């Protein structure tokens, strides 16, 4: 064998030995915690336990059933602690004021969506949050009602096209939500933001693929490269959609930059106005302005569409609550020609049954199934007095916390009466967290609630929904930024007459 070949073999062997030595040292010095969990293997930890993708809520539920409120596992040398009980959730999200998300999730989101509220940490996150929070001010919400009404009409028109046949809800709901965000937070014609002639199904597929791809990147470290992700058909599809969306967003930024300076300052600005001033001055680097708008558009579109899917599926499976919603809508909107008028804030405040239906849906099927935090310091959790080492990834699971029977009796029963008249039973203050809690809770909570209420008020006055997806189908969900069923949610839409009867 030639000398250079021996040298090459020697270099490869020493490199492999060096990598193994580094990995072994990382494993030997991994943080330890006094909490139960599955057996680990040296260096790789519990990676093999999550070898099958997608990662599902059922997998997390099995860990909880076996190990309890605190479950530890390792992704390589990285310690992950799954936290379920509200006492510990409260200490992490409210008492300790920990706001940084784990770097695995942030990197995966950043791969597709860039630097926005979903993916940045530390001082950068604080800067973004300070700029964006005022754009969701309650005084702006009434001005959004018309756009929400238009979005509800768009969704109703798409559902009416089915003629009562079974339909997949996510595609038209996603485009309706995207149109509403364009008209409210960015305040441009929706046709400027919508990716040209792309069909609803392609928009929906791109959103769903983005969620699954983010999970894949987190669980498959060798795919943490845009180049490698582009080698997959799913990755290429997501990147193509995001590129189209980025180009459309840049058009909006250019339009805002070319605007004439406002003659009278506004008390409250929409998102685009807050980030870009007339003349082109931006409050963040232009790339971050673009990424922040993409983050808000993608997250707002996806969470609204998923929530609508679950609400309609549950109402189809529980006709008694659908009847209650229809009765309330007739009581509030009256009969005859006035029944289909645009909802006012007073109308929406009167829709207590519909609001309770939304809240109960988000309790059983929270749109955000997991919330991650990184322990920025050693932390002692009150329940069990467990010392959590600095650097631990804390995985909070609303999908489990909100189903604890000691706080929500008979937790798998769809019972919106839990939330009627402010009645929520004996639950803990942190046993219900569909929009998160604390400093890093969803900044668009009130926006999302109002949008859902308007959309549902519009379509429920026009249709009765019959089931196609079973309860078991709704429970078969994957874990990513948003909750997704393994099979698309479908319902049948039966048109009602104008009086709603």
Structural domain includes residue 155? yes
Q: What is the mean pLDDT of each run of 10 residues along the chain (501 residues)?
A: 73 82 85 93 89 88 95 93 94 83 83 87 90 86 92 94 90 91 87 67 78 76 72 79 85 83 69 87 91 90 94 97 97 89 94 96 94 91 86 94 94 94 66 89 90 97 96 92 91 78 46
Give the model's pLDDT for residue 222.
Answer: 64
Structural domain includes residue 500? no
Residue 140: which residues within 8 A CB-CB, separation 6 or more? 268, 270
Give the model's pLDDT for residue 255.
Answer: 86
- How many distinct helices (H) and strands (E) make up the chain? 20, 11
Q: How many domains does the chain have?
A: 1
Structural domain includes residue 17? no
**Phi and psi at residue 91, in whole multiples of 5°?**
-65, -35
**Phi and psi at residue 286, in whole multiples of 5°?**
-55, -40
SS3 371: strand
Structural domain includes residue 25? no
DSSP structure string for 197-242: T--HHHHHHHHHHHHHHHHHHHH-GGG-SHHHHHTSHHHHHHHHHH
Report the alpha-carbon distance of residue 171 to residue 168 in Å, rounded.
7
Looking at residue 222, which CATH number applies to its domain?
Answer: 1.10.630.10
Evaluate the omega torsion of the peptide bond into residue 348 and state whether it is cis, within 30 degrees of 0.
no
Report the alpha-carbon distance of residue 54 to residue 289 in Å, rounded.
32
Give the model's pLDDT for residue 263.
Answer: 57
Structural domain includes residue 7? no
Report the alpha-carbon distance of residue 258 to residue 272 in Å, rounded.
13
Structural domain includes residue 312? yes
Structural domain includes residue 35? yes
User: Do residues 229 and 498 touch, judged by C-beta distance below 8 A?
Assistant: no
CA-to-CA dists, residue 423 to 213, 359, 420, 427, 448, angstroms: 39, 12, 6, 10, 22
Q: What range does the domain containing 446 cover?
A: 31-495
N-to-C CA span, the chain = 88
Give the model's pLDDT for residue 362.
Answer: 97
Structural domain includes residue 124? yes
């Amino acid at each position: 064998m030639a000398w250079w070949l021996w040298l090459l073999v020697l270099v490869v062997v020493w490199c492999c030995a060096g990598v193994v030595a580094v990995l072994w040292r990382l494993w030997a010095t991994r943080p330890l915690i006094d909490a139960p969990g599955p057996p680990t293997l040296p260096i790789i930890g519990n990676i093999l336990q999550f070898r099958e993708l997608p990662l599902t809520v059922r997998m997390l539920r099995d860990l909880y059933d076996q190990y309890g409120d605190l479950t530890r596992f390792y992704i390589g040398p990285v310690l992950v602690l799954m936290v379920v009980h509200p006492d510990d959730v409260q200490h992490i999200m409210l008492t300790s004021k920990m706001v940084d998300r784990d770097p695995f999730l942030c990197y995966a989101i950043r791969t597709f969506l860039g630097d926005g509220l979903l993916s940045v940490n530390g001082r950068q996150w604080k800067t973004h949050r300070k700029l964006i929070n005022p754009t969701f001010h309650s005084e702006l919400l009434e001005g959004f009602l018309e756009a929400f009404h238009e979005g509800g009409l768009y969704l109703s028109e798409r559902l009416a096209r089915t003629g009562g046949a079974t339909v997949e809800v996510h595609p038209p709901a996603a485009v309706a939500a995207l149109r509403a965000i364009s008209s409210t937070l960015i305040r441009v014609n929706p046709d400027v933001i919508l990716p040209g002639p792309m069909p609803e199904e392609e928009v929906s597929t791109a959103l769903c693929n983005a969620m699954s791809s983010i999970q894949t990147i987190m669980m498959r470290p060798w795919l943490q490269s845009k180049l490698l992700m582009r080698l997959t058909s799913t990755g290429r599809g997501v990147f193509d959609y995001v590129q189209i969306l980025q180009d459309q967003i840049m058009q909006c930024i250019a339009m805002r930059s070319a605007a004439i300076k406002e003659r009278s300052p506004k008390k409250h600005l929409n998102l685009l106005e807050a980030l870009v001033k007339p003349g082109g001055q931006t409050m963040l680097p232009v790339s971050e302005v673009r990424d922040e708008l993409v983050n808000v558009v993608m997250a707002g579109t996806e969470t609204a569409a998923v929530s609508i899917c679950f609400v309609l599926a549950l109402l189809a499976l529980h006709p008694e609550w659908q009847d209650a919603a229809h009765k309330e809508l007739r009581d509030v909107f009256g009969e005859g020609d006035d029944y289909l008028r645009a909802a006012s804030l007073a109308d929406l405040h009167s829709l207590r049954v519909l609001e309770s239906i939304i809240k109960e849906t988000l309790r059983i099927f929270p749109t955000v199934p997991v919330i991650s935090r990184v322990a920025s310091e050693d932390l002692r959790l009150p329940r069990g007095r467990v010392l959590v080492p600095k650097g631990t990834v804390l995985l909070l699971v609303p999908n489990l916390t909100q189903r604890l029977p000691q706080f929500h009796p008979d937790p798998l029963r769809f019972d919106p009466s839990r939330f009627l008249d402010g009645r929520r039973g004996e639950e803990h203050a942190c046993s219900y967290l569909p929009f998160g809690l604390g400093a890093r809770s969803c900044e668009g909570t009130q926006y999302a609630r109002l949008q859902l209420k308007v959309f549902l008020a519009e379509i429920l006055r026009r249709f009765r929904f019959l089931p196609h997806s079973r309860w078991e189908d709704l429970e078969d969900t994957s874990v990513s930024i948003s909750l997704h069923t393994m099979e698309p949610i479908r319902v049948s839409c039966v048109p009602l007459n104008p009086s709603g009867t």
